[in-house]
Structure formats: C-alpha cells, structure tokens
C-alpha cells in the first residue's frame, strides 16, 4: 500500500514538473498566427537581430573551444595544488548575477579604465558593438564548454595515451590522434551548450551593448513598447533557428566519428 | 637488445620502488613475478617513462634512456586490458605506430613499402587477416590481445613490456596466446619483459625471472633457480611448489634422468617441466600398497624444523624431493639423515608446465 502511494506521488510530481516546463513553451509557440510569423521574419530588424544573435553566439562558442580546450585537458588530466581554486574560478560566471557580469566587463573596457581608453584609441570598439557582445557571451558560456570538454577528456583512458606514446607519438600527436577524437562527442556537446547559453544571455549584454540589438534585447524592447503579441513571434523564430543550428551541428559533428563503434 | 636497470628509485608518495637492479640479456624472455601491490606495474611504467624516477639509470645496450620521453625510448607496452584505440579499425590500430617518424628516437621505423609488409606478416602470423576492418569493440578478448601485440611489435621495439597479458583471458585463449607469445618472441628477436602473478605462465614462457615484493626485487635469476632455491622467505612463500624438475615427456609418463613419473595424462605441447607441492608427497617407512601411481625409495638428505611442521629432503637417484610433514608424522617416521623412506604421490598431484 505504502509503496503504491509512494509510486503515485513520484509519478504525479514528475508529471507536474514536465508540464511546468513544456506548457509555457507550447503556449508561446502556438500563440502567434502563421501570418504574424511570416510578417515578423520579413521585418529586417528581426532577421538582423536573429542573425546577430547566431553569429555572436557561435563566435563565442568557437572562442571557448579554441582557448578553453587546453585548460579542460589540464583539468581532466593533472592533479596540482590549487586545482580546486582554478575550478571554482572557472565556474564563477555561472553563479554571478548577469547584470554584474556586464558591469564588471564594462568597468574593464569602458572609458574610465586605461584598457578601455587604449582600445578606443586604437579604434577597437567594444561597447555597443558585436565584439562587445561576443566578449560577454564568451564570459558566460565558458564554464559550460569547459565542464563538458573536461568530462570528455576524463573519459579517455590515460592508458590509450601511454600506448600511443610508447609507439612513438609525441604528446601533441597523441592528443590529435587519440584523445581529441575520443573526446569529440563531449566537446561537441560542450560547444552546443556554450552556444545555447551565449544566445540566451540578456542581462549582461544590454549593459555592454543595447545596440546593435541581439534577439533577446529586441524581444524585450518590443514587449516594452508594443506588448506581448509583438514579442512572441520573435521568440518563436529565435527558438526555431537555434534548434535547427544545434541539430545540424549534432548531425555534422556526430556523423563523422560516432558511427564507428562505441567508446570502449 | 639488453636492458640494464641500475639503482632505480621511484617515489610516488604512498608507494616507493627502491634500488631496483636488473639486467635482461639481449633476446631474453624475462618474467617479473610477485604478489599484488609488489610494484611490478609501477616498474613497467617507470621503464616506459610514464612515472618520473627519483634516482638511478636505465640503459638499452649502451644507450641511456632514463630521462627520455616515452616516445623516444624504444620500449613497447602491452596491457592486460589491451588498450586498443576504440575509434580506429584493427588495421589502423596495428599500423598506428608507423605514422610517427621519430628520427631522434631509438624506434627504428621501416620505410613505407616495408611497413606494409611488416603489417602483413604480423597480421598473418597472429591470424588477424579476416579482422582487419573490424573495430575493437566487436572482438573477443583473445583477438584484442593479438591486435595489441601486433600493434606493439610493428614498430620493432627494442624491449617489449607485457603487463599481465594473459590474465584477463579465458583459459582456452590463454593457452593459444601463450603459443603466440613464444612464437613472436622467437621471430621478433626483441627482449620481452612480462609481468605476471602466475608462476605456470612464467615457467612455460620465460628463461629468467625476478620476484618483487614491497617495492623491491627479492630475487632474480633463472626460473629454475628461483623455483628450487629461493633465497628469501618471501620468494619461497610465493613460489610454493618446491619440487620442480625439467623432464622429457613420452605419452603419459615424464622422465628426468633415470626417474620415471606417471602423470596419467598427456602434457600440452611445449611443456617441459613438472612440479609437485611438498604437502602432496606422502612419506612412509614401508612401501605403501595403494593406488598411488608414483612410489620411490629415497635417502634422507636433510631434516628442517619449522615449528608446526618439518621439511624433509629425500634423494631419489639424481633428484632431490622436499616433503612437508606434521610434527605427529615426524615422531612416527623418526626421519634421520642417511636413513631411507618411501615417497609416494598421485599422478594428479603432478603439475605440468
């Protein structure tokens, strides 16, 4: 009896949790009429903002991939003093409130700091520019990439690296031929997670760059000026485009390596 | 080529290898034996260059390799769990090492045309030709270990380290792979160093051996010496079976000089030794009338007390047997040096190697 009621309780609460996530999304997706969706995507302001969101998000993920991969590998492979501290630092962007991130970065690249003035003098515009948006997105997306890549590297047995080196491969060759391909699926997941997190950022971005408008900022503005019905279609388009992007990344990236048997 | 380890010390914090001295002759098949936790695997990793050594030197012939990176040492390694690259086909696994043309290293890479020949030869020799396009996850343990051997030997290492290569395999595969190891050792001319905790494996494959315990070498020498003349209690305990004889087999009998043993079965091909545990020998004052198939009259050459039991050495023609008897039996038999006793044991008590 008690076992039965316990089972019902767990099922019911699981169901409620799932509804809580899916219902608002479904409601939003189905709210705009096809006509308003069509009209929205023909609006240059909308597709420009979605395109800006996509390419800044992807750029942030690529930057995380290039600069984060070595750190992820070190964190997965070696034990050293202060490793816990490094891991805590890497996770900071997750726990800091988003506007705080924006303010912190603005303090660095704004005109009241020498670095910002220097960048301004050599013509590098961060505030109110796509590079500023990419910087913010990289900051908030980095922990997601590092975590996934680290787990990927940790799942590759060090023995495979040992064998590779005993066969004459240098550390670098071993990384290229063995470790990286075997960790690739996790790395790809990390890239997608990082990209998704970057595109969803709002609070930090509006402090660095209200204009040019990324899609979330445009949604916010339309909601403020015209109301819910004008911001919903933009949201639908952003979600659809992002899903297509991530799906194609999975297909392209997964297809090349994954078909070849399981990871032992 | 020969391998010389001088005063090697490795300090891993909780575990320490201290003052390891070993010499492996060119083309030797050397077994490194010892209980779990003795430091055998750590020694292998130190030889490959995967754990840093704090003192000592390692030489291959006259080339000093201590301090070199793993890829420059010319030492191959085969692990118990095979460690095949799961994302590469069998063929790509085998020829993996040929990609790296490291001129600085001691690894002598064959030129391209010859490389294909080497891959061919090894895969034929190990019966891998029909598996070349499969992936490791689809192979049996025995097949995977054969691929691992081919992959290690393709780059012609000076020294090949084998870390318990047979212990993860089914008994059937184990016998087969033993044959392969013997064969590969003969053909490749490489010096093999095999870690094992199974004495019968060592007996059937190796010429020389060392026993490790507690991070040090207890004894090294020929297999027979270690088996028959343990110099420390640890070795004696580890070896267990003291009555080891090199024999000629014929049908279900074994001959060592003039002594004939009834073994009641045919030995596996390649066997050359028999061994009998001292506690399996039955001593008596008069010849036993029983079903025991082996019975000899022997002259007592030594009597040693061990507190709870006695060890008696008996000489039968040219052979010396060691038997263990209880204190109670000791008073019954009253063994005195130069007196005679009868010695009997079952055919099934005879271990074949």
- Please name the residue of chain B whose CA is at the shortest distance from the CA of residue A259: B87
Closest partner residue to A182 among B48, B76, B86, by Cβ?
A: B86
Return the pLDDT at A260: 42
Q: Does the distance separating the beta carbons of A262 and B100 come in below 8 Å?
A: no
Return the pLDDT at B174: 83
Q: Does the distance separating the beta carbons of A169 and B73 come in below 8 Å?
A: no
Residues B161 and B305 grouped into a single domain: no
**pLDDT tens for each residue of B5-58:** 999 999 888 888 989 999 999 999 999 998 888 889 899 999 999 888 899 999
Alpha-carbon distance B48 to nearest alpha carbon in chain A (angstroms): 7
Domain count, chain B: 2
Contacts of A167 in chain B (CB under 8 A): 71, 76, 96-97, 100, 151-152, 155
Closest partner residue to A168 among B79, B81, B107, by Cβ?
A: B107
Return the pLDDT at A234: 92
Q: Does the distance separating the beta carbons of B86 and A264 come in below 8 Å?
A: yes
- CATH code of the domain in which B34 resides: 3.40.50.300
Residues B144 and B38 grouped into a single domain: yes
Which residue among B189, B212, B239 closes a domain?
B239
Where does the pLDDT of residue B108 fall: very low under 50, low under 70, confident under 90, or very high at 90 and above? low
- Please give the Cα distance from B203 to B178 (Å, whole number): 11
- CATH code of the domain in which B262 resides: 2.40.50.100
Alpha carbon distances (Å) from B181 to A262, B194, B201, B275:
29, 10, 11, 23
Residues B207 and B276 grouped into a single domain: no
Give the dihedral sign, CA B94/B98/B102/B103: positive
Contacts of B48 in chain A (CB under 8 A): 162, 165-166
Q: Which residues of A202-225 are buried (b: 16+ CB within 10 A; e: fewer)?
A: bebbbbbbeebbbbbbbbbbbbee
- Please give the Cα distance from A119 to A127 (Å, whole number): 10
Give the position of tokens 């050459």.
B301
Return the pLDDT at A257: 47
User: At residue B253, does pLDDT exceed 50?
Assistant: yes
What's this model's pTM, rounded to 2 decimal places? 0.80
Give the dihedral sign, CA B193/B199/B204/B208: positive
Which residue among B204, B239, B274 closes a domain?
B239
Residues B146 and B85 grouped into a single domain: yes
Residues B223 and B256 grouped into a single domain: no
User: At residue B160, does pLDDT exceed 50?
Assistant: yes
Alpha-carbon distance B103 to nearest alpha carbon in chain A (angstroms): 10
Return the pLDDT at B101: 59
- The verdict on ipTM greater than 0.90 is no
Contacts of A160 in chain B (CB under 8 A): 83, 85
Residues B86 and B208 grouped into a single domain: yes
Residues B210 and B87 grouped into a single domain: yes
Q: Tell me what the pLDDT averaged over chain B comes to.
A: 87
CATH 1.10.3720.10 fits A34-257, yes or no: yes
Where does the pLDDT of residue B78 fall: very low under 50, low under 70, confident under 90, or very high at 90 and above? very high
% of chain B beyond a pLDDT of 70 = 96
Per the structure block, which two tokens stand in for A65?
């991939």
Q: Does the distance separating the beta carbons of A166 and B152 come in below 8 Å?
A: yes
Return the pLDDT at B327: 87
**pLDDT tens for each residue of B88-100:** 999 999 999 998 8
Give the position of tokens 């996509």.
A54
Return the pLDDT at B228: 72
Residues B67 and B13 grouped into a single domain: yes
Alpha-carbon distance B230 to nearest alpha carbon in chain A (angstroms): 34
Return the pLDDT at A104: 93
Return the pLDDT at B353: 72
Return the pLDDT at A1: 55
Chain Cα centroid distance, residue A98 = 14
Chain Cα centroid distance, residue B291 = 34
Residues B174 and B60 grouped into a single domain: yes
Q: Does the distance separating the beta carbons of A159 and B81 come in below 8 Å?
A: yes
pLDDT beneath 70: ranges in chain A: 1-3, 255-264
Residues B79 and B222 grouped into a single domain: yes
Q: Does the distance separating the beta carbons of A164 and B136 come in below 8 Å?
A: no
- Please give the Cα distance from B266 to B347 (Å, whole number): 12
Contacts of B152 in chain A (CB under 8 A): 166-167
- Please give the Cα distance from B279 to B323 (Å, whole number): 6
Return the pLDDT at B109: 55
DSSP character at residue A247: H
Contacts of B87 in chain A (CB under 8 A): 181-182, 257, 260-261, 263
The residue with greater pLDDT, B204 or A7, is A7
Closest partner residue to B96 among A167, A170, A264, by Cβ?
A: A167
Residues B175 and B286 grouped into a single domain: no
Does the beta carbon of B86 lie under 8 angstroms from any beta carbon of chain A? Answer: yes
Whether omega for the bond prior to residue A13 falls within 30 degrees of 0, making it cis, is: no
Return the pLDDT at B306: 83
Residue numbers of the domain that contains B281? 244-352
Residues B171 and B307 grouped into a single domain: no
């Amino acid at each position: 009896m008690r076992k039965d009621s316990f089972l019902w309780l767990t099922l019911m609460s699981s169901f409620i949790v799932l509804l809580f996530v899916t219902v608002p999304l479904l409601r939003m997706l189905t709210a705009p009429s096809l006509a308003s969706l069509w009209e929205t995507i023909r609006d240059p302001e909308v597709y420009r903002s979605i395109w800006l969101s996509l390419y800044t998000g992807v750029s942030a993920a690529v930057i995380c991939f290039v600069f984060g991969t070595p750190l992820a590998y070190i964190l997965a492979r070696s034990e050293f003093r202060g490793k816990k501290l490094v891991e805590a630092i890497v996770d900071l962007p997750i726990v800091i409130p988003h506007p705080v991130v924006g303010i912190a970065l603005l303090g660095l690249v704004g005109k009241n700091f020498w670095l910002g003035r220097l960048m301004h003098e050599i013509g590098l515009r961060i505030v109110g520019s796509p590079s500023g948006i990419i910087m913010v997105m990289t900051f908030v997306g980095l922990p997601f990439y590092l975590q996934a890549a680290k787990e990927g590297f940790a799942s590759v047995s060090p023995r495979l690296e040992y064998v590779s080196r005993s066969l004459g491969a240098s550390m670098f060759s071993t990384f290229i031929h063995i470790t990286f391909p075997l960790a690739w699926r996790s790395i790809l997941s990390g890239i997608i997670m990082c990209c998704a997190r970057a595109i969803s950022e709002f609070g930090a971005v509006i402090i660095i760059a209200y204009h040019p408008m990324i899609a979330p900022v445009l949604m916010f503005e339309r909601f403020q000026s015209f109301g819910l019905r004008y911001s919903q279609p933009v949201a639908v388009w952003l979600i659809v485009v992002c899903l297509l992007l991530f799906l194609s990344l999975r297909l392209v990236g997964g297809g090349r390596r994954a078909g070849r048997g399981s990871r032992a | 080529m020969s391998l010389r380890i001088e005063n090697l010390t490795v300090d891993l914090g909780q575990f320490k290898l201290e003052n390891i001295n070993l010499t492996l002759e060119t083309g030797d098949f050397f077994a490194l034996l010892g209980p779990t936790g003795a430091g055998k695997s750590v020694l292998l990793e130190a030889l490959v260059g995967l754990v840093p050594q704090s003192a000592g030197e390692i030489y291959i012939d006259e080339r000093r390799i201590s301090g070199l990176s793993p890829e420059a040492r010319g030492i191959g390694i085969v692990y118990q769990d095979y460690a095949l690259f799961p994302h590469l086909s069998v063929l790509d696994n085998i020829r993996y090492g040929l990609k790296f043309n490291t001129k600085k290293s001691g690894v002598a890479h064959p030129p391209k045309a010859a490389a294909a020949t080497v891959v061919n030869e090894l895969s034929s020799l190990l019966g891998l030709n029909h598996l070349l396009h499969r992936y490791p996850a689809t192979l049996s343990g025995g097949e995977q270990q054969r691929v691992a051997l081919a992959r290690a030997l393709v780059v012609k290492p000076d020294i090949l380290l084998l870390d318990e290569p047979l212990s993860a395999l089914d008994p059937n595969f184990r016998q087969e792979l033993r044959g392969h190891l013997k064969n590969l050792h003969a053909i490749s001319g490489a010096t093999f160093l095999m870690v094992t905790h199974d004495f019968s494996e060592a007996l059937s494959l190796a010429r020389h051996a060392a026993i490790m315990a507690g991070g040090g070498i207890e004894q090294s020498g020929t297999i027979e010496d270690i088996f028959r003349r343990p110099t420390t209690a640890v070795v004696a305990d580890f070896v267990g079976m003291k009555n080891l004889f090199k024999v000629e087999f014929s049908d279900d009998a074994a001959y060592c000089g003039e002594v004939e043993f009834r073994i009641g079965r045919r030995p596996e091909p390649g066997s050359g030794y028999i061994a009998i545990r001292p506690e399996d020998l039955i001593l008596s004052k008069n010849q036993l009338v029983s079903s025991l198939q082996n019975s000899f009259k022997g002259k007592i050459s030594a009597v040693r007390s061990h507190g709870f039991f006695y060890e008696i050495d008996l000489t039968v023609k040219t052979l010396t047997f060691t038997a263990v008897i209880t204190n109670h039996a000791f008073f019954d038999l009253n063994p005195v040096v130069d007196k005679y006793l009868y010695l009997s044991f079952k055919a099934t008590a005879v271990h074949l190697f």
